[in-house]
Structure 1
Amino acid sequence: MKIATWNVERLRHKKQLDQIQGLCDGIHADILVLTETDKRLHPDYAFCCETTSLMGDKTIPYAVTENRVSLYTNYPVVRLHQTYDSRTALCAELKTEKGNLLVYGTIIGTLGNRHSSFMEQLHRQCDDIRRLSELGDGICVCGDFNCSFSDNYCFTQAARTTLLDLFRDTGLTLLTERQTECIDHIAVSSSMVTTKRPVLEEWNVDKRLSDHKGIVVTF
């Protein structure tokens, strides 16, 4: 299985939209979660789930085409599960060769990890993930966590500790924990990870098409 995520920075580099689209298609991920994205970018997948409209948001002037999270997959979507904020996080249950898988795609901290709203959003999303992880299916949590884990690139100690505690308590493995300059992450149920070491790859390392690197994990 191949899972990828990328924050495309609200298409600030929309003149390179063809290149961005080509990278998304060329990854050939089974599950692709894009954050800070835009309907003008639409990778070639059979199914797409999106967070709800941001029009009317008083904190950031969003365009009508923008949304915070989109999930693309060729796996059939069995159902959607409720999240605490449908504008910021989504959860789709997918039918995969490994059984049904819940994919929780998210941005943690829509105004960054130093804003007063960050810890509240983090705790609300942790509540989501704890509840969903009890459904008995495998779960994948991925997207923009606004927190690095292996360096001082971008993090708060409170966020790092809270997330690591969450993953331990819910039986998740943070596959991207050792990636440097990385705040976009992929965590999956530990039962999904075999003895073979997952393969991690990055793209947009020069951050020319977005201010985030993309990351894909194959396991």
Structure 2
Amino acid sequence: MLASLRIATWNLEKPKPNGWSKNPIILEKIQEINADIWILTETNDAINPGEQYFQAASYSKPEWDGFKYTTIWSRLPIIRHWQTYDPWISVCAEILTPIGNLLVYGTIITYAHDDVLNGKAKIWERHYESIQSHSRDWRKLNKLLPLCVAGDFNEALSQPFSYGTPKGREMLRQGLEQSNLVCVTANHELGYNIDHICLSLDWAKRVQNTNKWQAYKTNGHPVTDHFGVYVDLFFDTSVS
């Protein structure tokens, strides 16, 4: 029986299918982190952790050349897919784990300037709307099974709060609380990050380790403008 479970999320900043300067480094880091469940955002089909993983992904178009807003990769079996409010951005997979099925919801909560340059919205307006829409999804899904929500939240939930707003953080706090979710990557030890992992309360209590990372190209530049984060959950294998 599996004694622990590592869940990781990372925004890859839109790698190209033939991205020779960053794709091999991303894949090498993915192998190093060795997560059981990955939630990758702004990703591409070229970023594949291996044949031992099952896949669930948001919708895509042929002209996107393999780009996906969100992809879940799981070593544990994916039982079924669940509907999300925006299947082009979010994906939800029911995953079989050693202590029961878990809904894994991967997503991007949109950024500050979405629809700002074209004059359709004010700064942060779409972000706040996105939090509200996501929160409605989480409340529905949390009634079914334990829930893991992970991805790019576009909100720093630990100091320094250098991206996001007090209003956005409070909306997120309320949305998570209403779904009995705990953001286990919102702590001062991790410092600044906007990619997060949240778990239903009973599952959050099993977390014993959190960490974040970055990966760098040969020129010293990061492969993406986001830190990746992972959490380790531990199970009591003495209980049959």
TM-score using structure 2 length: 0.82
The residue aligned with 2:238 is none
* 1:165 aligned residue (174, 178, 199): 174
Q: How far apart are 1:120 and its partner, in Å?
A: 1.6
* 2:143 aligned residue (134, 142, 145): 134
SS of the counterpart of 1:117?
helix
Q: How far apart are 1:54 and its partner, in Å?
A: 4.8
* 1:215 aligned residue (215, 222, 229): 229
Partners of 2:184 and 2:204 within 8 A in 1: no
Partners of 2:135 and 2:176 within 8 A in 1: no
Q: Deviations over 1:83-142 (max 9, x none)?
A: 01101001100010020000000000056573432222221111100100011x110000
* 1:53 aligned residue (46, 60, 74): 60
Distance, in Å, in 2 between the alignment partners of 1:5 and 1:76 is 18
Q: CA RMSD in A?
A: 2.0
1:181 aligns with 2:192: yes
The residue aligned with 2:39 is 33
Q: Percent of aligned positions with the same letter in both sequences?
A: 31
Q: Deviations over 1:163-201 (max 9, x none)?
A: 11122222111101113220000000110133x662112
Distance, in Å, in 1 between the alignment partners of 2:209 and 2:138 is 25
Moved more, 183-192 or 7-16: 7-16
Q: How far apart are 1:5 and its partner, in Å?
A: 0.3
The residue aligned with 1:2 is 6
Distance, in Å, in 1 between the alignment partners of 2:97 and 2:183 is 20
Gap change, CA 1:197 and 1:119, over 3 Å in 2: closer
Gap change, CA 1:125 and 1:202, over 3 Å in 2: same
1:203 aligns with 2:207: no
Q: Which segments of 5 or more consecutive residues in structure 1 lack a partner in the other structure?
A: 56-61
Distance, in Å, in 2 between the alignment partners of 1:111 and 1:39 is 27
Distance, in Å, in 1 between the alignment partners of 2:191 and 2:70 is 23
TM-score using structure 1 length: 0.89
Gap change, CA 1:193 and 1:116, over 3 Å in 2: closer
Amino acid at match of 1:132: L
Distance, in Å, in 2 between the alignment partners of 1:197 and 1:128 is 24
Partners of 2:25 and 2:215 within 8 A in 1: no
Gap change, CA 1:88 and 1:190, over 3 Å in 2: same
Distance, in Å, in 2 between the alignment partners of 1:182 and 1:87 is 24
1:43 aligns with 2:57: no
Distance, in Å, in 1 between the alignment partners of 2:130 and 2:61 is 17
Q: Which has the larger radius of gyration?
A: 2
